[in-house]
Amino acid sequence: MRPAFGGPAIPVGVDVQVESLDSISEVDMDFTMTLYLRHYWKDERLAFPSTSNKSMTFDGRLVKKIWVPDVFFVHSKRSFTHDTTTDNIMLRVFPDGHVLYSMRITVTAMCNMDFSHFPLDSQTCSLELESYAYTDEDLMLYWKNGDESLKTDEKISLSQFLIQKFHTTSRLAFYSSTGWYNRLYINFTLRRHIFFFLLQTYFPATLMVMLSWVSFWIDCRAVPARVSLGIMTVLTMSTIITGVNASMPRVSYIKAVDIYLWVSFVFVFLSVLEYAAVNYLTTVQEWKERKLREKFPCVCGVLHSRTMMLDGSYSESEANSLAGYPRRHILTEEERQDRIVVHLALSNESSSSRKKGLLKGQMGLRIFQNTHAIDKYSRLIFPASYIFFNLIYWSVFS
């Protein structure tokens, strides 16, 4: 039975010293903390006269024989009191009836985390203490010294987080079936270290995107080189995305790292599609040229001849340059006239096609006819777009 039963609520002061913050789990959304939990109250039934000793100290065996506050951790998953080499429980009673009750506890509690800015995020977690049976009418739970009631070890550190702040709060919690209870909060804010993710995620993803741009400098006829490079970068990006998601909970919203990785994946994938377009247009262009040669087989002599005059005559210097050639390379007058006629016919046909608005006369489509120009523009557009994306990304999430 509590002290002063039937009277006003008994005040129970609490202070906490955090020994260590053992781990933070993003997958399970919890944290593990080891702490010293101390309670202070007055029980006049334990008062004793004393002239020499100011207090008497007992171990955990006496705790089962007297009244102690029934404080528990709200939203805790696991907790235990240390028992090496003996139960880590101490009870100190003062002559006027004041009692100090201390325990060393390790608790794993839930922490609701928001990963929308992961890994550029900050998380705020709370460890909540509350009386299990006594409402605020029977037990008044409070921080004994306000914010000074929470002490932390200066050596506390985490591999992935920077501990920014510890502070305490208190409020009333209501349960519809039992009533109002005093609840104490140990709040702490954690900011994630970004350097690990820069090395493991951001730098590899950026390098894969840059590696995919190397294909723009490779000859479009080198099909094995460009295809293998594109497939390698796509598969590597898929591996990076899978590795990041494997260490994260399956949340239903998009994380900051997802935006970066998937945009990088799109850039890599577009570089593969760019070569597919280049290869296709090159094939189409070669097919058209082959069909044209089949339709006018004699055009080649005119197109490759740089010495023929429209009147069918050669200059003296040109004749000397042809002196070493066999006679079969020199065309007769009749053959020359036939090729000139064909060449002029093709020129007239090409001019009429331009006037009709065919693709050969369009400036924008000349880029597609010259497949090397596509690679040339890709060398500028892809890096500029990716740099612009990085500027926006880091300005928004940093």
Q: What is the pLDDT of residue 143?
A: 95
Please give the mean pLDDT across all residues of the chain: 83
Q: What is the pLDDT of residue 327?
A: 46
Rounded to an integer, the average pLDDT of 13-21 is 94
Q: What is the pLDDT of residue 15?
A: 95
At 284, is the secondary structure helix, strand, or coil? helix
Residue recorded with tokens 């040339």: 376
Q: What is the pLDDT of residue 267?
A: 96
Q: What is the pLDDT of residue 284?
A: 85
At 394, is the secondary structure helix, strand, or coil? helix
> In this model, does residue 361 exceed pLDDT 70?
no
d(CA 90, CA 168): 24
Domain regions of the chain by residue span: 10-192, 196-292+383-397
Of 114, 195, 111, 127, residue with least CA distance to 161: 195
d(CA 247, CA 24): 13
390 or 339: whose pLDDT is higher?
390
Q: What is the pLDDT of residue 364?
A: 44
Burial of 397 (0-12, 13-18, 19+ CB in 10 A): middle
> In this model, does residue 348 exceed pLDDT 70?
no
Rounded to an integer, the average pLDDT of 118-124 is 92
The pair of three-digit structure tokens given for residue 114, joined into one six-digit string: 């928001």
Q: What is the pLDDT of residue 367?
A: 45
- Res. 372 pLDDT band, cuts 50 70 90: low
> In this model, does residue 323 exceed pLDDT 50?
no
> In this model, does residue 201 exceed pLDDT 90?
yes
Rounded to an integer, the average pLDDT of 268-273 is 94
Q: What is the pLDDT of residue 10?
A: 93
Q: What is the pLDDT of residues 327-344, one digit of tens each?
A: 444 455 555 554 544 444
- Res. 60 pLDDT band, cuts 50 70 90: confident
Topology given in CATH for the domain delimited by 196-292+383-397 = Methane Monooxygenase Hydroxylase; Chain G, domain 1 (1.20.58)
Chain centroid, CA 349 distance in Å? 58
Least confident piece of the model among 10-24, 62-76, 175-189, 311-325: 311-325
Chain centroid, CA 289 distance in Å? 49
> In this model, does residue 231 exceed pLDDT 90?
yes
Q: What is the pLDDT of residue 312?
A: 44
Rounded to an integer, the average pLDDT of 121-148 is 93
At 63, is the secondary structure helix, strand, or coil? helix
Please say whether the structural domain 10-192 has been given the CATH code 3.40.50.11540. no
Least confident piece of the model among 145-154, 257-266, 312-321: 312-321
Residue recorded with tokens 């709040």: 187
146 or 39: whose pLDDT is higher?
39
Q: What is the pLDDT of residues 143-187, one digit of tens each?
A: 999 888 999 988 888 888 999 889 999 999 999 889 999 999 999
Q: Where are the beta strands (DSSP E) in the chain?
A: 10-25, 30-42, 56-58, 71-74, 76-81, 89-93, 98-110, 122-131, 139-143, 150-152, 161-175, 179-192
Q: Is the pTM of this model over 0.95?
A: no
314 or 271: whose pLDDT is higher?
271
The pair of three-digit structure tokens given for residue 301, joined into one six-digit string: 């002599």
